Amino acid sequence: MNLILTVLGWLAGIVLFWRAKPLKPPNNDLTDLPSASIIIPARNEEKNIDKLLSTLKDQCGASDEIIVVDDDSSDGTSAVVFSYGLEPIKLSGAPPEGWMGKSWACWNGYSRSTGDILIFLDADVELSPCAIETVKHKFLECGGFFSVQPYHRMERIYEKLSLFFNMIVVGSIGSFSLWKTKAMGAFGPCMICKKSDYEAVGGHKTVGDHVLDDIELARLFMRKGFSVQNALGGSVLKFRMYPGGLRDVILGWGKNFVAGARKTNIHYLILNVLWIGGAFSAFMRFPLSSGPSVLHNSFIYIAYVFQIWFVSRKLGSFGILTALLYPVSLCFFFIVFAYSMVRTLLYKSVIWKGRKISV
Determine contact, residues 65/39, Cβ cutoff 8 Å: no
149: left (phi over 0), alpha (psi -120 to 50) or beta: beta
pLDDT at residue 292, as a whole number: 64
CA–CA distance, 219 with 238 (Å, rounded to integer): 25
Q: 47 and 194 share a domain?
A: yes
Task: State how beta strands 145-149 and 228-232 pair.
Answer: parallel
CA–CA distances in Å: residue 128 to residues 135, 239, 274, 317:
11, 11, 36, 16
- Which of these three, 216, 243, 270, is where a domain ends? 243
Look up the domain containing 72 and give its range: 36-243
Greatest extent of the chain over all pairs of C-alpha atoms, in Å: 70
How do beta strands 190-194 and 117-121 pair? antiparallel
> Residue 344 contacts by C-beta under 8 Å, 6 or more apart in sequence?
258, 259, 350, 359
If asked whether residues 222 and 352 sit together in one domain, one would say no
User: Running DSSP on this structure, what letter comes out for residue 45?
Assistant: -
**pLDDT single digits (tens) 258-267:** 777 778 888 9
Are 227 and 339 part of one and the same domain?
no
Q: How many domains does the chain have?
A: 2
pTM, rounded to two decimals: 0.92
**Residues 83, 214 share a domain:** yes
Question: If we measure between CA atoms, which residue out of 113, 120, 128 comes closest to residue 54?
Answer: 128
**Domain assignment of residue 30, yes or no:** no
Whole-Å CA distances, 42 to 9, 197, 251? 39, 24, 18
Give the pLDDT confidence score for residue 287 in this predicted structure. Answer: 61
pLDDT in tens, 216-275: 999 999 999 999 999 999 999 999 999 989 999 998 898 888 777 778 888 999 999 999
| Cβ neighbours of residue 211 closer than 8 Å, sequence gap 6 or more | 100, 255, 256, 259, 350, 357, 359
67: DSSP letter: E
Query: Cβ–Cβ contacts within 10 Å for residue 79, how many?
Result: 12
Q: Specify whether 187 is located in the same domain as 289.
A: no
Q: How many CA atoms lie within 13 A of 94 on its CB side?
A: 11
Quick one: 133 and 197 in the same domain? yes
Q: 220 in a domain, yes or no? A: yes
pLDDT-derived band at 38 (thresholds 50, 70, 90) equals very high
Question: How many whole angstroms from its chain centre is CA 194?
Answer: 21
Cβ-proximal residues to 10 (8 Å cutoff; 6+ apart), any chain: 275, 278, 282, 300, 303, 304, 307
